[in-house]
A and B are shown apart, each in its own frame.
Chain A
Amino acid sequence: MTSGSMGSSPRRPDGWAKVTGTFAFSSDLSMPGMLWGATVRSPHPRARIVGIDVSGALALEGVRAALTHLDVPGAPCYGLELRDQPVLAATEVRYEGEPVAVVAADDPDLARRAAEAVLVTYAPLTPIVDAEAAARGEGEAVHAGRPNLLRHVPVRRGDPNVEAPVVVTGEYEVGMQDQAFLGPESGVAYPADDGGVDLHVATQWLHVDRDQIASCLGLEPERVRLTLAGVGGAFGGREDISMQIHACLLALRTGRPVKMVYRREESFRGHVHRHPARLWYEHGATRDGRLVYVRARIVLDGGAYASSSMAVAANAATLGVGPYRVPNVRMDSYVVYTNNPPCGAMRGFGAVQACFGYESQMDRLAHACGLDPVELRRRNAMTTGDLMPTGQVVEGPAPVAELLRMVAERPAAPRTTAFGASGGHTTRGEGVVRGVGYGVGIKNVCFSEGFDDFSTARVRLELRDGRPVVTVHTAAAEVGQGLVTVQGQIARSELGVPDVVVAPADTAVGSAGSSSASRQTYVTGGAVQAACQAVRRQVEATTGEPYDPTALPRLLARTGAVEETVRWHHRPTKGLDPQTGQGDAHVQFAFAAHRATVEVDVELGTVRVVEIVTAQDVGRAVHPQAILGQIHGGTVQGLGLALMEEIQVTDGGIRNPSFTDYLIPTIMDVPQMRVELLELADPHSPYGLRGVGEPPAISSAPAVVAAVRAATGVELSRVPIRPHDVVWGAGR
């Protein structure tokens, strides 16, 4: 086996640059003669724009441009699914922080002062902030002429009126979570000789950015060239446009390179968040705890613009009863426009909100049936061949019961942990109680509902100084997950060549699709595999000899450089029936289970997570160490959702846009984490692998909350849990 191939854990090729400070993140870029851009943002969640006066900004020495909606040469709006979001607001602003103008100046301070000098006159309107009213079709329209209901996804299965002897109901709420990647939105745009523009930017999907930029600039896509700059984390928050179009507009207008870097506060306002949700569930079961039906209603607040809301609503609906066998389902998932901050993709994408609802219900049901929560789940766990509520057959391994068994059978968390018993508490002893909770979740991998989901890989095999070298070129965004490493591993395995170079990702090669939906190792991995195999075939066809890595110096001397570009699709999916929600909408399902152990100080309401055990089926562990990294990181984001992370919104305004007030877990908040992997090959995916990134972020929050409930007996129906929820609940 070629060293560094699949199944081993070679080092990241960008690793040394990252530990020596030389890796160029998008915020590190600079060019000669570069200007700095800044954005003028609305202070109102909803207002009519009465006038915009940029003369004050332009009067400042060193300010080179101040642009409004009138300066957008192409389409005025962009968007992932609906083009409903203005590049710069024209007549109305629909959320607090919406861009109204952009400026470019000689230095960043001056750019910020110029932004402040742009005079925008607003006539504030009462913001529309009630998502449930919007779902009922009540209230004024956020977008004139369009209903506030963006999408309703019904799923109907079985008998709608069936009854059951044991019924539990619950109403749940999920707060607005933020991706809180550390690297701020940033990039540099510079004008090109052909009238086009080049942009180096941190993003998740170069081509979909390019297409939106080109459309708004009124340029052919070929004249807009994007190169991936170093990405400081993404988690869904870079799937939408932020500063991309603005920087390009300013560069084309000034004829100079323009850099934009968001500050943290601007970042909190400048990207979409996880949809906050309200969920109503009714579970009916037999006395021995077998599910008869689930009825549910989920309302997701999409905020001011659509982003990927429609797909989020479909995920919540189709995955909304969890990894369980349920013969009768009546599910309604709604996503609406409001004047709250726009919401879109975040790791887990609709499955996270639903999982908090259905897993809370499974615990209630276990209690009602007098069953252990693991046993109740085991009795209902889906397996291969079962039907989703959409009628889709679950193909391939679905080891839900097995994953639960794996986390449940781990020895209990030790009483005294390595970092002491006092972390997070000021008292010790009587006030501190311990609890254990479980969660299991399901996630679709890749894009669904008939989306044309593919990736493109170009692989070149040639001799350099007499040695065979492989170059892999894709547009796939490395966002930290380790895709660059995996591409090299696949090429080494397929071609038997140790020297593999992964070229920088850019739009000079075809689209790779998004680094989201846990899909890149699957889809770009599949494309790299296919391109490598095409290269092998070409070597064989040209030389008439079987491909042999040890003979490559001789074979390639005859063939010259061999290069193949392959566009690779996963199996097609289908749309959902708009009335019944039936359809084979997903290509692959992924599962993980968590067991959380917590200690709660019931007097202070503080929670310390002592241990989290995760079990996940990864199909095939391409890079075992990177998989652990995904599981640790995803699990901790779920812990954050359970205990601390929430964008607080009042009347449409964000109250906590800083790391002082929006808390993400620190090293003191994270517990010991134990991980168990299953590798049950999926017969349909490349190498049998299963998407890894999202499942661990889905069930960890419900497991932590279940553990807090078990410790305190308090009915917690909202995440994040606030200390007063525990204290007041315990006092009741």
Chain B
Amino acid sequence: MRVTATVNGRVHSAEGVRPTESLLDLLREHLHLPGAKNACEQGECGSCTVYLDGETVCACLVAAGQAEGREVVTVEGIGGGRSSSLQEAFLTCGAVQCGFCTPGLLVSAHALLARCPQPDDRQIREALSGNLCRCTGYEKIIEAVRMVAEGGSR
């Protein structure tokens, strides 16, 4: 089948999408946007987190066809403004080790800061509780989000 969606601000069309494929497959295999990751493909790790019409979703749980006519934003599309400072903060704080969790965490943290510009630690933890990271123990990830939140209040 054919799926047309706006991805990171541009209209993309993919031919030959199989009905079994997910939005994650659509992005990674058909649109060559491998930023969203595939750690579990069953909704448990958050590594595939993207925006779908402004809401964060696990792309592995959304059928590719459901993205038809809708707007998708991935880690490749969140740059600019406060999200650049989020990306900078992840690097400054050492919140990135292997980086496999990073794209999903960045999208989740981006969504948190959009709805709650100055989250406390508890809100940060709750917002990121669906994103697994095996390398960092999360400490530096919390620090990075906190850094952007505090920077925003200056």
Q: How far is the CA of A9 from the CA of B37 in the complex (A)?
A: 27
1/0 contact string of B111-154 vs chain A (CB within 8 Å): 00000000011101110111111111111111000000000000
**Interface assignment of B106: CB less than 8 Å from any CB of chain A:** yes
Q: How far is the CA of A80 from the CA of B136 in the complex (A)?
A: 28
The answer, among B20, B74, B141, for a CB contact under 8 Å with A21, is B74
Known: A9-B94, A107-B18, A183-B98. A673 touches B137 (CB 8 A): yes
Tell me the chain B residues, 59-109 only, with Cβ under 8 Å from chain A. Answer: 74-76, 79, 87, 90-94, 96-103, 106
Nearest Cβ in chain B — how far from A236, in angstroms? 12
Q: Check if A182 sits within 8 Å of B97, measured CB to CB.
A: no
The chain A residue with its CB closest to the CB of B142 is A667
The answer, among A235, A635, A659, A673, for a CB contact under 8 Å with B132, is A659
What chain B residues lie within 8 Å of A22 (beta carbons)? 35, 76
Q: Check if B98 sits within 8 Å of A11, measured CB to CB.
A: no
The 8 closest A-B pairs by CB, nearest first: A21-B35, A480-B98, A632-B137, A18-B99, A232-B100, A659-B44, A28-B34, A636-B137
**Interface assignment of A60: CB less than 8 Å from any CB of chain B:** no
What chain B residues lie within 8 Å of A109 (beta carbons)? 18, 20-21
**Interface assignment of B47: CB less than 8 Å from any CB of chain A:** yes
Nearest Cβ in chain A — how far from B126, in angstroms? 8
The chain B residue with its CB closest to the CB of A107 is B18
Interface centre among A12, A234, A637, A667, by most chain B C-beta atoms within 10 angstroms, is A667
Q: How far is the CA of A20 from the CA of B79 in the complex (A)?
A: 8
Q: Check if A23 sits within 8 Å of B136, measured CB to CB.
A: no
Q: Check if A21 sits within 8 Å of B75, measured CB to CB.
A: yes
Q: Check if A263 sits within 8 Å of B134, measured CB to CB.
A: no
Tell me the chain A residues, 177-212 only, with Cβ under 8 Å from chain B. Answer: 179-184
Q: Check if B38 sits within 8 Å of A27, measured CB to CB.
A: yes
Q: How far is the CA of A729 from the CA of B89 in the complex (A)?
A: 45
Nearest Cβ in chain A — how far from B24, in angstroms? 11
Q: How far is the CA of A93 from the CA of B121 in the complex (A)?
A: 50
Q: Check if A632 sits within 8 Å of B35, measured CB to CB.
A: no
Q: Check if B138 sits within 8 Å of A231, measured CB to CB.
A: no
Interface centre among A15, A25, A230, by most chain B C-beta atoms within 10 angstroms, is A15
The chain B residue with its CB closest to the CB of A626 is B94
**Interface assignment of A722: CB less than 8 Å from any CB of chain B:** no
Q: Write 28 A-B pairs (CB below 8 A) sorted by A numbering.
A: A19-B90, A19-B99, A20-B76, A21-B35, A23-B99, A28-B28, A30-B29, A107-B18, A109-B20, A182-B37, A182-B39, A182-B45, A182-B101, A183-B39, A232-B37, A232-B99, A233-B97, A233-B100, A264-B41, A629-B94, A633-B135, A633-B136, A636-B137, A636-B138, A659-B44, A659-B45, A666-B129, A667-B129
1/0 contact string of B42-54 vs chain A (CB within 8 Å): 1011010000000
Q: How far is the CA of A148 from the CA of B100 in the complex (A)?
A: 38
1/0 contact string of B19-34 vs chain A (CB within 8 Å): 0110000001100111
The chain A residue with its CB closest to the CB of B138 is A667
**Interface assignment of A670: CB less than 8 Å from any CB of chain B:** yes
**Interface assignment of A445: CB less than 8 Å from any CB of chain B:** no
Interface centre among B20, B38, B128, by most chain A C-beta atoms within 10 angstroms, is B38
The chain B residue with its CB closest to the CB of A696 is B137
What chain B residues lie within 8 Å of A665 (beta carbons)? 137
The answer, among A637, A659, A670, for a CB contact under 8 Å with B40, is A659
Q: Check if A670 sits within 8 Å of B35, measured CB to CB.
A: no
Q: How far is the CA of A19 from the CA of B88 in the complex (A)?
A: 8
**Interface assignment of A728: CB less than 8 Å from any CB of chain B:** no
**Interface assignment of B57: CB less than 8 Å from any CB of chain A:** no
What chain A residues lie within 8 Å of B136 (beta carbons)? 629, 632-633
The answer, among B100, B138, B139, B141, for a CB contact under 8 Å with A25, is B100
**Interface assignment of A32: CB less than 8 Å from any CB of chain B:** no
Q: Check if A182 sits within 8 Å of B133, measured CB to CB.
A: yes
Tell me the chain A residues, 225-245 only, with Cβ under 8 Å from chain B. Answer: 230-235
Interface centre among A180, A481, A636, by most chain B C-beta atoms within 10 angstroms, is A636
Q: How far is the CA of A660 from the CA of B34 in the complex (A)?
A: 24
**Interface assignment of A418: CB less than 8 Å from any CB of chain B:** yes
Q: Check if A664 sits within 8 Å of B134, measured CB to CB.
A: yes
**Interface assignment of A261: CB less than 8 Å from any CB of chain B:** yes
Q: How far is the CA of A628 from the CA of B87 in the complex (A)?
A: 20
**Interface assignment of A482: CB less than 8 Å from any CB of chain B:** yes
What chain A residues lie within 8 Å of B5 (beta carbons)? none
What chain A residues lie within 8 Å of B7 (beta carbons)? none
The answer, among A19, A235, A629, for a CB contact under 8 Å with B134, is A235
Nearest Cβ in chain B — how far from A280, in angstroms? 32
The answer, among A107, A263, A664, for a CB contact under 8 Å with B41, is A263
What chain A residues lie within 8 Å of B134 (beta carbons)? 179-182, 233, 235, 633, 637, 664
1/0 contact string of A104-132 vs chain B (CB within 8 Å): 00010100000000000000000000000
Nearest Cβ in chain A — how far from B128, in angstroms? 5
Nearest Cβ in chain B — how far from A513, in angstroms? 20
Q: Check if B122 sits within 8 Å of A18, measured CB to CB.
A: no
**Interface assignment of A14: CB less than 8 Å from any CB of chain B:** yes
The chain A residue with its CB closest to the CB of B96 is A18
**Interface assignment of A70: CB less than 8 Å from any CB of chain B:** no
Nearest Cβ in chain B — how far from A428, in angstroms? 15
**Interface assignment of A1: CB less than 8 Å from any CB of chain B:** no
Q: Check if B91 sits within 8 Å of A419, measured CB to CB.
A: no
Q: Check if B91 sits within 8 Å of A633, measured CB to CB.
A: no
Nearest Cβ in chain A — how far from B135, in angstroms? 5
**Interface assignment of A24: CB less than 8 Å from any CB of chain B:** yes
Q: Check if B45 sits within 8 Å of A233, measured CB to CB.
A: no
The chain A residue with its CB closest to the CB of B39 is A182
Sample of 13 further A-B pairs with CB below 8 A, known A182-B101, A480-B135? A15-B99, A21-B34, A21-B74, A28-B28, A232-B99, A233-B97, A264-B41, A629-B97, A632-B140, A636-B137, A659-B39, A665-B137, A668-B129
Q: How far is the CA of A481 from the CA of B47 in the complex (A)?
A: 19
Q: How far is the CA of A634 from the CA of B134 in the complex (A)?
A: 9
Nearest Cβ in chain A — how far from B149, in angstroms? 14
The chain A residue with its CB closest to the CB of B40 is A264
Q: Check if A181 sits within 8 Å of B98, measured CB to CB.
A: yes
What chain A residues lie within 8 Å of B97 (beta carbons)? 233, 480-482, 629, 633
**Interface assignment of A16: CB less than 8 Å from any CB of chain B:** yes
Q: How far is the CA of A665 from the CA of B129 in the complex (A)?
A: 10
Q: Check if A21 sits within 8 Å of B91, measured CB to CB.
A: no
Known: A182-B134, A264-B40. A19 touches B102 (CB 8 A): yes
Tell me the chain A residues, 611-640 only, with Cβ under 8 Å from chain B. Answer: 625-626, 628-629, 632-637
What chain B residues lie within 8 Å of A182 (beta carbons)? 37, 39, 45, 47, 98, 100-101, 132-134
**Interface assignment of A254: CB less than 8 Å from any CB of chain B:** no
The answer, among B35, B42, B93, B125, for a CB contact under 8 Å with A667, is B125
Tell me the chain A residues, 670-688 only, with Cβ under 8 Å from chain B. Answer: 670, 673
